[in-house]
């Protein structure tokens, strides 16, 4: 124990001066360095032996490393009847660690909610700009922070959303912090060629083929573009013909397959009518619609049917060409025997990324649904061999995410769009989310850009969603500590793809440890109560996941049709968990994250000795 204490304190000092950090964070930074120094060692044998003697096993040392070591050593000396003068005193004591984390959490995420410690953050949908009641309902059901995604919409919509939240605060008497999440350099698939101008519509059926719900379609006056309800498709028609439609009328036609189909007019309003069908129909340009009304038949033609993109079907073993240009991609070209004459082609949103690729590196598409390996690199394209797709193939569409977990990417975390968005962020936001941050320079860049724009700097939230971001997390936290307020978000969606789903639980634990050692609050994000939020029915696994999120300082819900219900359910889960203590004993194997940090930040690297226990 004496040897371990000595090496922790010596290694901490190899980092150098912390004078450049905000004064509020200097002691926390020292505790973080001490924790990383502790995790340079294989401590598990020592932990087991300490537990045998009913002594502290160091499993809860994150918030106050030096104080924990000294307290344990003091007890051991007292048991042996030996005097001990530790000399240097801890910079963070037991109460300090708890107090600093609570203070930093309140500074970033707002006051502690009544009845629970953990805050709830909700991603605001676009419709929140025109729906004040949604913001009010979310606040009344437990929302403490609202997330506005700058990758969508525009400053006009953002301002309306924030205005509705502020209005809801005044009415409810509740407070809400605003996180504005920068889009970052999200790598996505490029556009695809459009397929034929055919619209396929089919009703929802049960296992026996019985219709559970008819398929619906809006017809609207082609001279007056209408705002259509929900996600129901719509087609333009002649306005005079449309004016003759009445509820209960029938429309008959022969579809693209020459199958006779009947539509029933279910709803009529000015310039629009809603029709329902109970059979699958294929609609194409030129089809005649025959409206039967008051024993008369009125004819009209479909003159505009949208051409939808043609997705690329990919199977394991297929070749995909990833190109540098923005020319619309297309599926593979085959002969009559099925032999591939030209592989499938698709572009990417950030072509310069292809410069960083190396043969043999993995590549993932569409949230990990499709996986491949870089096989060959040419001047204008990269050959990717598909290695992972579900049986029967998977369809790749435009605007789907691309992940390169083992590629050393040279991308700035701030895009030109992000720099422009920061003008709005520094005026309206309490926090700014830095997406796809890979290193300390990315964090320094966003801080510098905000300092150019305003003396008021929102709290900096580092989103950990890449392998590089995870490996460089301690450096990024220390850089964010130059500002008065900072935090970390575990963006578990991309992180799982980048590092592998099997490692996600391990990585999120390490992030929680490191952040607790730095007294920095954590936001637990991605797919929390996803089934409840989107379909209205939670799974057992996601309820347990939400309860596990209690270990963070904030849990984020995504947008969805049932987000108010999900917010209320999460509030209930957290209040119930508040009364239960989690029995936790962390076993401390050597942490490679700590080793990478000190290897990079010290010269020469500290000697790592095996403990004699």
SS3 annotation, 534-600:
HHCCCCHHHHHHHHHHHHCCEEEECCCCCHHHHHHHHHHHHHHHHCCCCCCCCCCCCCHHHHHHHHH
Exposed, middle or buried: residue 17 (CB in 10 Å: 0-12, 13-18, 19+)?
Answer: exposed
What's the residue count for the chain? 613
Could you tell me the CA-to-CA distances from 78 to 46, 82, 85 in Å, in that order? 19, 6, 12
Q: By the 8 A CB rule, do 582 and 54 touch?
A: no
d(CA 239, CA 394) in angstroms, rounded, equals: 41
**Residues 6+ away with beta carbon under 8 Å from 30:** 12, 18, 91, 92
Half-sphere CA count of 283, side-chain side, radius 13 A: 27
Exposed, middle or buried: residue 286 (CB in 10 Å: 0-12, 13-18, 19+)?
Answer: exposed
The residue ranges of every structural domain in the chain are 2-92+587-601, 116-185+414-578, 198-301, 312-403
Residue 260 confidence (pLDDT): 95
At residue 193, φ and ψ (nearest 5 deg) are -60, 145
d(CA 69, CA 63) in angstroms, rounded, equals: 12
d(CA 349, CA 357) in angstroms, rounded, equals: 15
d(CA 437, CA 428) in angstroms, rounded, equals: 22
pLDDT block averages, 10 residues each, the chain of length 613: 96 94 96 97 94 90 96 95 92 93 96 92 95 95 97 95 96 97 92 89 89 92 65 88 92 94 92 92 93 89 88 95 92 88 94 93 94 94 96 93 90 91 96 95 96 94 94 97 97 90 90 96 93 89 88 94 94 82 56 86 60 46
Q: Are strands 522-525 and 554-557 parallel, antiparallel or unpaired?
A: parallel
d(CA 376, CA 384) in angstroms, rounded, equals: 7
Fold: same for 198-301 and 312-403: yes
Model pLDDT for residues 265-317, shown as the tens digit of each residue: 999 988 899 999 999 999 998 999 999 988 889 999 998 898 888 999 999 99
Dihedral of the CA atoms 391, 392, 397, 402 (nearest 10)? Answer: 20
Residue 291 confidence (pLDDT): 94
Return the residue matching tokens 């509740």: 174
Residue 208 confidence (pLDDT): 87
Closest C-alpha among 433, 428, 485 to residue 461 = 433
Beta strand ranges found along 177-311 (DSSP E) = 177-181, 198-201, 204-205, 211-213, 215-221, 234-237, 250-254, 260-269, 272-277, 281-284, 288-293, 296-301
Q: Nearest 5 degrees, angle CA 432-CA 435-CA 436? A: 155
Residue 230 confidence (pLDDT): 61
d(CA 432, CA 42) in angstroms, rounded, equals: 37
d(CA 79, CA 357) in angstroms, rounded, equals: 59
Stated pTM of the model? 0.82
Tokens of 390: 């579900």
At residue 333, φ and ψ (nearest 5 deg) are -100, 125
- Fold annotation for 312-403: M1 Pyruvate Kinase; Domain 3 (2.40.33)
Q: Which parts of 225-265 fold into alpha helices (H)?
A: 239-243
Backbone angle region of 570, left / alpha / beta, with phi > 0 → left and psi within -120 to 50 → alpha = alpha
Exposed, middle or buried: residue 448 (CB in 10 Å: 0-12, 13-18, 19+)?
Answer: exposed
**The CATH classification of domain 116-185+414-578, taken from the options 3.20.20.60, 3.40.50.1370, 3.90.226.10, 3.40.190.10:** 3.20.20.60
Q: Nearest 5 degrees, angle CA 411-CA 416-CA 422? A: 110
Residue 601 confidence (pLDDT): 87
* 101 Cα distance to chain centroid: 24
Answer whether the bond into residue 604 is a cis peptide, omega within 30°: yes
d(CA 256, CA 291) in angstroms, rounded, equals: 18
Q: By the 8 A CB rule, do 472 and 491 touch?
A: no
Question: Which numeric CATH code is attached to 198-301?
Answer: 2.40.33.10
d(CA 213, CA 203) in angstroms, rounded, equals: 6
Return the residue matching tokens 């797919």: 527
DSSP 8-state class, residue 503: G
Count of beta carbons in the 10 Å neighbourhood of residue 382: 22
Q: Which parts of 278-413 fold into alpha helices (H)?
A: none
Q: By the 8 A CB rule, do 231 and 239 touch?
A: no
Instruction: Indicate the angle between helix axes 416-428 and 155-172, nearest 10 degrees.
Output: 20
DSSP 8-state class, residue 494: H
Residue 587 confidence (pLDDT): 59
Closest C-alpha among 242, 241, 237, 250 to residue 293 = 250
Q: By the 8 A CB rule, do 519 and 28 touch?
A: yes
């Amino acid at each position: 124990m004496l040897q371990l204490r000595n090496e922790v304190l010596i290694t901490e000092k190899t980092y150098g001066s912390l004078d450049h950090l905000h004064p509020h964070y200097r002691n926390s930074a020292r505790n973080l360095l001490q924790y990383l120094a502790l995790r340079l060692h294989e401590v598990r044998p020592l932990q087991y032996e300490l537990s045998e003697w009913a002594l502290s096993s160091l499993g809860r040392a994150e918030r106050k490393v030096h104080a924990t070591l000294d307290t344990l050593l003091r007890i051991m000396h007292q048991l042996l009847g030996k005097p001990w003068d530790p000399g240097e005193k801890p910079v963070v004591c037991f109460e300090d660690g708890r107090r600093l984390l609570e203070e930093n959490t309140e500074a970033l995420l707002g006051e502690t909610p009544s009845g629970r410690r953990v805050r709830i953050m909700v991603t605001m949908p676009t419709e929140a700009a025109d729906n004040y009641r949604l913001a009010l309902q979310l606040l009344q059901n437990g929302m403490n922070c609202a997330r506005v995604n700058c990758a969508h919409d525009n400053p006009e919509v953002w301002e309306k959303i924030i205005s509705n939240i502020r209005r809801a605060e005044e009415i409810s008497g509740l407070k809400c912090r605003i996180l504005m999440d920068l889009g970052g350099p999200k790598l996505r698939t490029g556009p695809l060629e459009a397929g034929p101008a055919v619209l396929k519509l089919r009703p929802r059926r049960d296992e026996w083929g019985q219709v559970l719900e008819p398929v619906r379609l809006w017809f609207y006056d082609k001279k007056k573009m209408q705002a259509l309800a929900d996600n129901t498709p719509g087609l333009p028609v002649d306005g005079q013909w449309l004016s003759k439609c009445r509820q209960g009328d029938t429309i008959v036609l022969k579809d693209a397959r020459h199958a006779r189909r009947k539509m029933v007019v279910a709803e009529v309003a000015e310039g629009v009518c809603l029709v329902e069908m109970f059979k699958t129909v294929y609609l194409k340009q030129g089809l005649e619609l025959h409206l039967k009304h008051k024993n008369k038949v009125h004819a009209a033609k479909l003159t505009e049917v949208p051409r939808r993109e043609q997705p690329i079907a990919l199977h394991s073993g297929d070749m995909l060409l990833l190109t540098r240009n923005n020319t619309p991609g297309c599926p593979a070209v085959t002969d009559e025997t099925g032999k591939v004459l030209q592989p499938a082609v698709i572009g990417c949103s950030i072509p310069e990324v292809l410069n960083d690729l190396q043969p043999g590196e993995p590549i993932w598409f569409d949230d990990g649904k499709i996986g491949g390996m870089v096989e060959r690199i040419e001047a204008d394209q990269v050959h990717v061999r598909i290695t992972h797709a579900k049986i029967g193939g998977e369809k790749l569409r435009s605007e789907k995410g691309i992940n390169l977990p083992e590629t050393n990417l040279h991308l700035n975390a701030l895009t030109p769009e992000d720099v422009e968005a920061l003008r709005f962020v520094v005026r309206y936001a309490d926090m700014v989310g830095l997406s796809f941050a890979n290193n300390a320079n990315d964090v320094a860049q966003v801080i510098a850009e905000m300092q150019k724009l305003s003396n008021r700097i929102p709290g900096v939230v580092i989103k950990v969603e890449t392998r590089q971001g995870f490996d460089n997390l301690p450096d990024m936290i220390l850089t964010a500590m130059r500002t008065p307020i900072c935090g970390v978000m575990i963006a578990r969606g991309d992180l799982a793809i980048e590092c592998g789903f099997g490692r996600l639980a391990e990585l999120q634990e390490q992030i929680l440890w490191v952040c607790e050692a730095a007294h920095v609050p954590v936001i637990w994000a991605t797919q929390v109560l996803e089934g409840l939020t989107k379909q209205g029915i939670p799974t057992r696994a996601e309820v347990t996941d939400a309860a596990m999120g209690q270990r963070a300082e904030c849990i984020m819900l995504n947008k969805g049709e049932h987000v108010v219900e999900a917010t209320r359910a999460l509030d209930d889960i957290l209040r119930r968990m508040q009364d239960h203590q989690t029995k936790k004993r962390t076993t401390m194997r050597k942490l490679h994250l700590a080793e990478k940090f000190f290897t990079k930040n010290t010269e020469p690297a500290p000697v790592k000795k095996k403990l004699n226990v």
